[in-house]
Chains A and B, each alone.
Chain A
Amino acid sequence: MTLTLAGRLQTRLVLLAAVGVLWTLLIVPALPGPVSAAAAVATIGVIALLGLGWELVYHLCQQLRWDKDWPSVFTLVAGVPEAVVAWPALVALGLAPASVTTYVLHFGSTWVVIWLAMQGPIRALFPRWRYDGGLFGVHRSEGEVGSRSETERYRMTRRTVAVATGIGVTLAVVLAIGVTVLGGLQSPPSDASDGAAGSPGTAERQRDRGDNAGSRDSARRNRPIPKRVAIRAIGVRSKLVTLDAKKGGRMELPRRARAGWDTRSAIPGRKKGVAIIVGSIRKSAIRPGVFKKVPRLEAGAKIRVRRSDGKKAIYVVTGMVSYPVDQFPAKYIYAPTKEPLLRIITAGGGLYPGNSSGYVVVTSRLDATR
């Protein structure tokens, strides 16, 4: 079963549209977590589009082989890179399911079903498919028979290839650019808050404030600032960036892999007031948030913050609450307290799998300063 480039493109589109979509509709109710059928079908669409580019890559790879063909198991394994590349595209387009497991189950099973279909059943339906290099749409009208029609047909095929390749490459490039641009924005669209003062809402553009900027601030204000945070219980270790309020009261967010300290809050280790540390809780396999394991945190766990003056503040976790995006009690969370507290506020998800938006607030009390 050797496919020509035109055959590959046709086969991919036909199989995804027929077998892939059918299978998706069948399997959606069985997938874990809340999954919308529309998003799942759209996922198949994205895979089909990206696939036009992939087929080109496979075709080029096979040029290095004398047989211009490769083992069918390669076709099966090719699902892995395709799945990995499609994920950020899906995230950027807001189509990604809440958990990676759901995605893997959906993509993996669809891929295997399509692969199995290619190994035989498709040939029972379209016996000429494999002799036509994977083309379905070879039309042979009565009048053509016995004429030199096939040459014309091949001209048609080449035009089809050219057009399909053009479309595929363009789409792939557009998608790649889209993914890069959108990928730079950390929070998903659902995180967009009403911009209430003090809430860790989505900024138009997030920028990582470097440590230099932080030290300049500290020099100006002449006070120690927190530099690092560590929560051994869940394996968190991160430098702390400094986060300033911007125009309109919105706050900067750090990059996903970093945590940040809100400069308007108390300095960790002080005898009173609330210190606020902010970070992402995203569970993405590709770019997980620094606090992705926060849901596993238990009361009594220790949070250690090291400051620029070398002192270390140790807090003990007392509680954890999650809030939907529109119910974040900013006033309560930021309100000054007599007790020395540290609050970790995470954006981009709740406490349970499948919850991809909302805030989690971890509250802890100062235990010691060394």
Chain B
Amino acid sequence: MTSSPREEIPFISIGGGLGSFALVHRLRIAGVPEDDIRVISPHRAPYERFAALCRASGLLDEDKLRSDSSARMDNLWGFPSYAVEESWRTRRPGPLARVLAEPVLCDYYTPSVGLMRAGMARETDRIGWDSMLVEGSAIKVARQTGGGYLVLVRRDGADRPVAYRCGHVHLALGPAALQISPEAAEFRSGPLGGDRIVHIYEPHEHVHEALAAQGGEVLVRGTGIAASRVLQRLIDDREASGQDVRIRHLFRHYQRGDVGPIWFRKRGGYGFSHQAFNFPKAAVAGQLRDRTRRLAEDERIEFVKEIGATSTPYRGYWASQLRRGRDEGWYQAVVGEVAAFKTDGDEVVARISLDTGKALEVRAGFVIDATGVDRDSRRHPLLADLVADTDASVNPLGGLRIDEDFTVVGAESGDGRVFASGMNAQGGYLAPVDSFAGLHSAAMSIADALAGRGIGHRLTPLKSVLGWLKWMRGQQP
């Protein structure tokens, strides 16, 4: 197929983000040598893309993530937890006290971006990430006759692809693209381009600067955590600059209060649905996880949609900002869907079909789209090819069909297996698949499956404690 040089590697992880990191971290702790692992990634550091998304959506280092204290990205044991570390480093008992009282007496403790990144940087060094990293893009995963896979990689700056022969492949490519609705995409191809309708995960500082300088109307789409965060930013700027920033907030579904029976009641109000994390905590390991494991695919996907529906954590600060906005009239909720965007001078006119059946035209200087990312795995050419070439398939949520060990069903090659985690594994037997805890949970399952195939070992209590002690002392695994 190619005359390029070949290398033999037992295990390759493609993606190089948090999903690859969780698995490599786990494998290294159980004694897999650096030489047996390659990570193919366009990024140098495993947290680079995550950090870029945080930055674009306006999260600074001291801002809080939406994650649990013991779901620690750089430590599979989750011990000591983020709260313990923060208390230790700042010499304040606050975070620790909070983790004790959450979520009944106060909001959940959540780690900050900076804390997570600093830990990741330390752990990336410790496990020897750089020596396993191949900077470049994987362009093809092909089965080899006789078992195993061939992975074609276009290295950064190289003319010809390099082929790696490997026993097993892990896929954790994350989202392929930002979710931009067709009507927004159409507008963005027009004269005003992408300046006026921006996606939350794109750099969009100019929007905040323009609004802080002269005020104006802004339309926000989306009701998730990113939308909450951008509303906070807009209102903070409004109050700091004194400009008249008027916010229209477009809801597709408007939740008027708590919904559901008493044993499954979801909090909400003023359009938002409130939940501390993307999924209820028990979806990671508790009874809801058991339920996702037992359900057949159709029911499972319905269930995952139900417990993972777009939501945002309730935070007192946000609630009081929006209350002020509603009272003073500069924050207005609109319920409906955008039918089309038009240009009028240098403004955007959004034609919205309201849920009442009527149409409404909203004029805004800017539109900020916070409706999320495109979750369809087939948007990655690599995965689209895999689905076309093998018996692998994609479920209705856009994830690869996997079994309970996160093995991609239908992509087997002799003894070789393809594993998927993170967003590429959604719709499988784990619901919160792209949360920190979910990535670790998947990594544990995959690593155990690999151990059964001769790569690394199971984490027995002794190995685990020794690994943990090394982590605590900062020694190489």
Contacts and interface: CB of A to CB of B under 8 A. Distances in A.
The answer to whether A and B come from one shared complex is yes
Interface of A: 1-5, 7, 63-64, 66-74, 119-121, 123-128, 130-134, 140, 142, 144-151, 154, 157
B70 A151 contact: no
Contact of B286 (A2, A123, A145): A2
B79 A133 contact: no
Contacts of A126: 461, 464
A130 B403 CA distance: 20
B267 interface: yes
> Nearest 5 A-B pairs (CB), nearest first?
A2-B286, A145-B452, A68-B282, A120-B79, A150-B404
Contact of B266 (A66, A132, A150, A154): A66
A205 B96 CA distance: 54
Contacts of A69: 280-282, 286
Nearest to A59: B287
A4 B287 contact: yes
B101 A68 contact: no
A145 B405 contact: yes
Identify which of B260, B263, B275, B285 gathers the most chain A CB atoms within 10 Å of its CB: B285
A71 B96 CA distance: 12
The SS class assigned to the A binding surface is loop
Contacts of B39: none
Interface string B185-226: 000000000000000000000000000000000000000000
A64 to B, nearest CB: 6
B280 A130 contact: no
A123 B458 CA distance: 15
B285 A131 contact: yes
Contact of A145 (B79, B441, B448): B448
Given A71-B103, A73-B100, A123-B78, A5 B287 contact: yes
B404 A68 contact: no
A68 B79 contact: no
A133 B285 contact: yes
Contact of B405 (A3, A130, A131, A146): A146
A130 B464 contact: no
A117 to B, nearest CB: 11
A150 B81 contact: no
A1 B404 contact: no
Interface of B: 70, 76-81, 84, 99-105, 260, 262-267, 275-276, 280-282, 284-290, 293-294, 403-405, 407, 417, 429, 437, 440-441, 444, 448-449, 451-453, 458-459, 461, 464-465, 468
B461 A68 contact: no
A67 B78 CA distance: 19
21 contacts: A3-B285, A3-B286, A67-B103, A69-B280, A69-B282, A120-B77, A123-B77, A123-B78, A123-B79, A124-B468, A125-B461, A126-B461, A128-B444, A131-B437, A131-B444, A133-B286, A134-B285, A145-B448, A146-B405, A149-B404, A150-B429
A73 B97 CA distance: 10
B417 A146 contact: yes
A148 B448 contact: no
Identify which of A1, A5, A140 gathers the most chain B CB atoms within 10 Å of its CB: A1
Nearest to B70: A1
A146 B452 contact: yes
Given A2-B282, A68-B282, A150-B293, A130 B78 contact: yes
Contact of B289 (A119, A133, A147): A133
A1 B285 CA distance: 7
A159 to B, nearest CB: 13
Contacts of B104: 70-71, 74
A104 B404 CA distance: 45
A254 to B, nearest CB: 46
Nearest to A142: B452
